[in-house]
Chains A and B, each alone.
Chain A
Amino acid sequence: MTAAATSFAITVDVNGREHALRVEARDTLAALLRDHLGLTGTKIGCGVGECGACTVLLDGVPVVACLVLAVEADGRRVTTIEDERDPRLEALRQAFVAEAALQCGFCTPGMILAARALPEGADDEAVRAGLAGNICRCTGYTAIVRAVARASTTRGRGRRRG
């Protein structure tokens, strides 16, 4: 990639599966996921990083996929809402459903991924701060905060009381 080009052959690990793809320089990571790989779980709410609906994890770090170029994912790991391997992600999904922390569901994939990236045991204030970049228009956020607490192994339902 040292030489300038308009398209690149890249390899990217998405949810544990490696994909060899050809992408244009101007393709975003969101386009790679949705259009190249048909993984439409990652949603486009604004395209300019102002809603967080397209939040995915890039090597475990939350990014808005609409503002990352596809080429930058070369050789890296991407985690989307479709990742079925991670038990903490699954715990969050189930907590969201149990707490009714979703309504129209469009912000939900990005919200769950952003929540996944929060430190385990974060308190409500820290959860809100960590999710400040994810806009929800339906829930008012309180159920989401409850769901994140519920999914937490130290704060949630599974926690043993002394």
Chain B
Amino acid sequence: MASPGHVVGRALPRVDGDAKVRGRARYPQDRPFPPDGLHAVTVRAPVAAARLLAVDVAAALRARGVVRVLGAADVHGTNRFGLLEPDQPVLVEDRIRAASDVVALVVATSERAARAGARRVRLALEPVTLLTDPERACDPDAPVVHPDRSTVTDHPNLVAEARLRRGAVARAFARAAAVVEGVYATSWVEHAFLAPEAGSAVPEPDGTLTLHVATQWPEADLRQAALALGEPRDRLRLVQAAIGGAFGGREDVSLQILLLLAARATGRPVRMVWDRAESIRGHGKRHPFRIRHRLAAGRDGRLLAAEIDILADAGGYASTSRAVVANAVEQACGPYAIPAVDVRGRAVFTHNPVTGAFRGFGVNQVCFAMEQQMNKLAVALGLSAAALRQRNFVRTGARLASGSRVVTAEGLPRTLVAATKRARARPLPRARDGWVHGRGLASALKNVGYGFGLDDHATARVRMTRDGAVAVAIGAAEVGQGITTVLTQIAAETLAVAPARVRIAWEDSSSAPEAGSTSASRQTLVAGNAVRGACERLRRMLATRGPRAAWPADGIAASCTWHVPPTQPLGHPRPTRHAHTYGWSAVVADVAVEVATGRVRVRRVVVAVDAGRVINPALFRGQVEGGVVMGQGYALLERCAVRDGMPVGLRLDACNLPTAVDAVPAIEVVAIESPEPCGPFGARGIGEIAMIPIVPAIIAAIHAACGAWVDAIPAVPQRVRAALATASRSNDRSR
């Protein structure tokens, strides 16, 4: 165990906690807005795909209070945005491809007037053939979602393909003692962060524009906004306050460009607040995956080969699908060393809802499939689920199936031992009143940081003033995970000052240096190292300075930019690693299944997570517990209904989120600390790894309880009952 620091390792109360519990934290919708400011409301098409022939705004313009109605012609820069491939129109010109497309923006003197105006906009649409089945997307005669797409791929509907091939796969399958095959399916899921999108854009006296919004990635928003507005990036400023949750759903642009456009067009401050229905409609969902999976092993349980085919529905626009699929392919084989693999992943366009980043970034889906296959394999070979994994875990310095040479895997087997040991301490109850009980196990890995050769860095500037106060500037978005508190502790520890003397300034793009996206579990590692580095530099400078009274008036400052060490993309001829850092976890879940109805109750979950070094035990526990319940929802409850490309349940109720009564009541969290060699104080990030193995552990527990394998999630009661029926039919046949 690492030596305790005076701040690092302590459960410091979160620095933004007091403001939040007093209702003083301001989210974008809480920001005071001048009475003469304007309000914007979007007009979206009532269908997922169509040719837009005309937009009639005459009636809207006559409505009381309506000032402007903006359309594609009002986009003076490039009318395209997108994190990886700019293919999404800010305002539709002639083609609607997804339910989230915005056709017009009504700007009025009040929100009510803007809504009333929006209801008066008339659209002339021509139907087009809908493509809603991703399996059909690459057929030669499939409707083409983006006929004018500039990126060339094997099929116009193919967003991206990622491929991994090592070793002699066919031969390995031929000699295998056991082969397990399965087809797995997952659904669209909604982030359902509690604060719907909101914001305002304000023209400043010097001609610049300030955007007040909640986002995971300020510089990506500004980059895309500058392109769309046709203005230099340094004329735009983004200021954040409190962010009401994200989970990946605030990574893509939502209302940022629309607000800036409206402010520019009117010369006045413009505000927009989305209601829940618009929030659900307006941002991307988790990718549904269909995974065909074959796994081969020797009699001793050593994995010989994996053949995996992944199909992801990207929806109408590219968003981050290329990266999600690459991530999924790279980690499809789990934390195991498998000598022969053939993994293919494709993301395809359809007219379904756009899919994008969501906690786990493609790894949840492939982990579900891989861990389910491992659990089936264990049954087939007569091995315990734990033993099968221990036999195949990758070791430090060895290669994952993807070819990544793992810097440290020391914590991986420790997570499994810790989770299973804790779980064993409590026996399962007996079957009673129609409920049967079971226990399931799963392991997982997750990359920390972007990987794939992408530039991954953060910059921090720190200044100590004569009074001993420490100001750290770094633009790492605090979405609720607690990064500002973690950075406070890192700074305080490094400088040997009290945490109360440290202030993290992250909110203002004009003064907080870029830290990259709050995603990929990366901020503790990357921003943490930048802050640590800047504070280390400052500490060395201070050692050579005299007493504070003699310091310059504005104190002493230092900065540091920390880069994640190099990684290589898939397909690189001689890759060392595709991610520099991987996190590990193991989960044991206890469930009860009501056989007559198919209802599943999760009674207890034990989660062991290798955090490298726990900076703040309370925040660590909070992330893990939250990840467990989010995983529970993903496994059993949540899915977005989509009909003809349109999301049907535009209410929070339809998202079927776990309530306090549904949520697993007993969560035991075990922290494994196997230091991350390049991490600040040995820490790595855990935001996603906490959630990933929950699904397969719960599904395995269902099988242990009642003998039914559910291969499609969510495992809603009718799926459990159907799986039970299948299981009993095959039991009857085998008698």
Partner of B625 from the list A42, A51, A139 (CB cut-off 8 Å) is A139
A106–B625 CB distance below 8 A:
no
A102–B17 CB distance below 8 A:
yes
Q: Does A38 contact B (CB under 8 A)?
A: yes
Q: Does B733 contact A (CB under 8 A)?
A: no
B23–A82 CB distance below 8 A:
yes
A51–B652 CB distance below 8 A:
yes
Most chain A beta-carbon neighbours within 10 Å: one of B275, B628, B652:
B652
Residue of A nearest to B243 (CB): A104
**1/0 contact string of A8-23 vs chain B (CB within 8 Å):** 0000000000000000
A106-B245, A128-B661, A132-B659 given as contacts; is B17 within 8 A of A97 (CB)?
yes
Partner of A143 from the list B20, B191, B625, B627 (CB cut-off 8 Å) is B625
Number of A positions contacting B (CB below 8 A):
53
A45-B194, A104-B243 given as contacts; is B630 within 8 A of A137 (CB)?
yes
**1/0 contact string of A124-145 vs chain B (CB within 8 Å):** 1001110111111111111111
A141–B482 CB distance below 8 A:
no
Task: Please name all residues of chain A whose beta carbon is closer than 8 Å to the beta carbon of B665 when the two chains form the complex.
Answer: 124, 128, 142
Tell me the B1-39 residues at the A interface (CB within 8 Å). Answer: 11, 13-14, 16-18, 20-27, 29-30, 32
A45-B196, A50-B651 given as contacts; is B30 within 8 A of A103 (CB)?
no
Task: Please name all residues of chain B whose beta carbon is closer than 8 Å to the beta carbon of A136 when the two chains form the complex.
Answer: 194, 660
Tell me what chain A mostly uses at the interface: helix, strand, loop, or mixed: loop
**1/0 contact string of A54-66 vs chain B (CB within 8 Å):** 0000000000000
Complex-state Cα separation, A127 to B619, whole angstroms: 22
Task: Please name all residues of chain B whose beta carbon is closer than 8 Å to the beta carbon of A94 when the two chains form the complex.
Answer: 21
Tell me the B468-493 residues at the A interface (CB within 8 Å). Answer: 479-482
Q: Does B182 contact A (CB under 8 A)?
A: no
**1/0 contact string of B222-257 vs chain A (CB within 8 Å):** 000000000000000000001111110000000000
Task: Please name all residues of chain A whose beta carbon is closer than 8 Å to the beta carbon of B29 when the two chains form the complex.
Answer: 40, 44
Q: Does A29 contact B (CB under 8 A)?
A: no
Q: Does A39 contact B (CB under 8 A)?
A: yes
Task: Please name all residues of chain B whose beta carbon is closer than 8 Å to the beta carbon of A43 when the two chains form the complex.
Answer: 27, 194-195, 244
Partner of A102 from the list B20, B32, B247, B621 (CB cut-off 8 Å) is B20
**1/0 contact string of B192-204 vs chain A (CB within 8 Å):** 1111100000000
Partner of B245 from the list A40, A127, A138, A142 (CB cut-off 8 Å) is A138
B667–A100 CB distance below 8 A:
no
Task: Please name all residues of chain A whose beta carbon is closer than 8 Å to the beta carbon of B622 when the two chains form the complex.
Answer: 100, 103, 138-139, 143
Q: Does A108 contact B (CB under 8 A)?
A: yes
Partner of B653 from the list A50, A106, A124, A137 (CB cut-off 8 Å) is A50
Residue of A nearest to B30 (CB): A40
Task: Please name all residues of chain A whose beta carbon is closer than 8 Å to the beta carbon of B626 when the two chains form the complex.
Answer: 103, 137-140
A144–B660 CB distance below 8 A:
yes
Q: Does A67 contact B (CB under 8 A)?
A: no
Q: Does A121 contact B (CB under 8 A)?
A: no
Partner of B651 from the list A40, A42, A44, A48 (CB cut-off 8 Å) is A48
Task: Please name all residues of chain B whose beta carbon is closer than 8 Å to the beta carbon of A156 when the two chains form the complex.
Answer: none
Tell me what chain B mostly uses at the interface: helix, strand, loop, or mixed: loop
A135-B194, A135-B659, A140-B628 given as contacts; is B480 within 8 A of A105 (CB)?
yes
Q: Does B663 contact A (CB under 8 A)?
A: yes
B652–A140 CB distance below 8 A:
no
Most chain B beta-carbon neighbours within 10 Å: one of A43, A80, A82, A131:
A43
B17–A96 CB distance below 8 A:
yes
Complex-state Cα separation, A132 to B20, whole angstroms: 21
A47–B195 CB distance below 8 A:
no
**1/0 contact string of B653-664 vs chain A (CB within 8 Å):** 100010111011
Complex-state Cα separation, A104 to B478, whole angstroms: 8
A51–B194 CB distance below 8 A:
yes
B195–A104 CB distance below 8 A:
yes
Task: Please name all residues of chain B whose beta carbon is closer than 8 Å to the beta carbon of A138 when the two chains form the complex.
Answer: 194, 245, 480, 622, 626
A45–B667 CB distance below 8 A:
no
Complex-state Cα separation, A108 to B652, whole angstroms: 17
Q: Does A46 contact B (CB under 8 A)?
A: yes
Complex-state Cα separation, A47 to B18, whole angstroms: 26
Task: Please name all residues of chain B whose beta carbon is closer than 8 Å to the beta carbon of A53 when the two chains form the complex.
Answer: 194
Q: Does A78 contact B (CB under 8 A)?
A: no
Partner of A97 from the list B21, B32, B244, B657 (CB cut-off 8 Å) is B21
B276–A132 CB distance below 8 A:
no
Q: Does B618 contact A (CB under 8 A)?
A: yes
B663–A140 CB distance below 8 A:
yes
Most chain A beta-carbon neighbours within 10 Å: one of B23, B245, B651, B667:
B23
Q: Does A107 contact B (CB under 8 A)?
A: yes
Partner of A50 from the list B30, B242, B652 (CB cut-off 8 Å) is B652
Q: Does B107 contact A (CB under 8 A)?
A: no
Q: Does A112 contact B (CB under 8 A)?
A: yes
Complex-state Cα separation, A112 to B18, whole angstroms: 13
Residue of B nearest to A48 (CB): B651
A43-B194, A139-B626, A140-B625 given as contacts; is B23 within 8 A of A104 (CB)?
no
Residue of B nearest to A129 (CB): B661
A106–B194 CB distance below 8 A:
yes
Q: Does B629 contact A (CB under 8 A)?
A: yes
A140–B242 CB distance below 8 A:
no
A110 to chain B, nearest CB (A): 9
In the A-B complex, list the 9 residue pairs whose CB atoms are closest, starting with the nearest: A41-B23, A104-B480, A105-B20, A140-B629, A106-B244, A81-B23, A40-B30, A103-B480, A100-B618
**Given A40-B29, A96-B17, list of 17 further CB < 8 A pairs?**
A41-B22, A47-B276, A50-B276, A51-B194, A97-B21, A100-B11, A102-B21, A131-B660, A132-B659, A132-B661, A137-B245, A138-B622, A138-B626, A139-B625, A139-B626, A140-B630, A142-B625
26 A–B pairs (Cβ distance < 8 Å), ordered by A: A43-B194, A43-B195, A46-B196, A48-B276, A50-B651, A50-B652, A80-B23, A81-B21, A93-B22, A97-B21, A104-B245, A104-B479, A105-B21, A105-B242, A105-B244, A106-B27, A106-B193, A128-B665, A131-B659, A133-B659, A135-B192, A135-B659, A137-B626, A138-B626, A140-B630, A143-B621
